[in-house]
């Protein structure tokens, strides 16, 4: 999914999910909760006719994963070789201490996505992100 598609579809999808009473799973959602949410996203995309393409399942999975937990950063939490995740100008970089260098992951998202993600993570940690305090230190699940 392109960033343009994501930016145009996500606000309408979120509005439709709220209207239909579908909630984003909690921070430490189970695999079933994540799967159920992805299914609900696919259903709402189809019902609301939000996508021009026929590949709603792939797009729904991508959108659902971007809205849950750490979104597109979540897979890096499971990689033991990744010590730090860096987001710079919409690009995701990963620091591999064992390799001694930073790698471009080739994952891109708009700055608005990362700002919303940072706000959500900060609030889940009980430390709201504000202009007066543009950074926070939050312990993520599993340390």
Task: Specify the pTM.
Answer: 0.59
b/e per residue, 26-61, with b = 16+ CB within 10 A? eeeeeeeebeebbebbbebbeebebbeeeebeebbb
Q: State how far the alpha carbon of 14 is from the alpha carbons of 92, 94, 99, in Å.
A: 24, 29, 39
Task: Tell me the pLDDT of the chain averaged across its residues.
Answer: 80
Output the pLDDT for position 32: 92
- Per-residue model confidence as pLDDT tens digits over 87-121: 888 888 888 877 788 888 888 888 888 888 888 77
- Give residue 130's region: left, alpha or beta (phi > 0; psi -120 to 50): beta
What average pLDDT does range 56-77 have in this prediction? 77
């Amino acid at each position: 999914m392109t960033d343009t598609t994501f930016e145009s579809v996500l606000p309408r999808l979120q509005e439709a999910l709220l209207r239909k009473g579908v909630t984003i799973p909690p921070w430490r959602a189970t695999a079933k909760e994540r799967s159920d949410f992805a299914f609900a996203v696919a259903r709402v995309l189809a019902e609301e006719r939000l996508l021009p393409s026929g590949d709603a399942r792939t797009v729904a999975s991508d959108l659902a994963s971007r809205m849950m937990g750490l979104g597109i950063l979540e897979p890096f939490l499971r990689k033991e070789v990744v010590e730090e995740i860096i987001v710079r100008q919409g690009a995701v970089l990963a620091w591999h201490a064992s390799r001694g260098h930073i790698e471009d992951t080739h994952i891109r998202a708009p700055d608005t996505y990362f700002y919303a993600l940072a706000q959500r993570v900060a609030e889940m940690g009980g430390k709201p992100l504000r202009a007066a305090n543009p950074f926070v230190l939050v312990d993520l699940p599993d340390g």
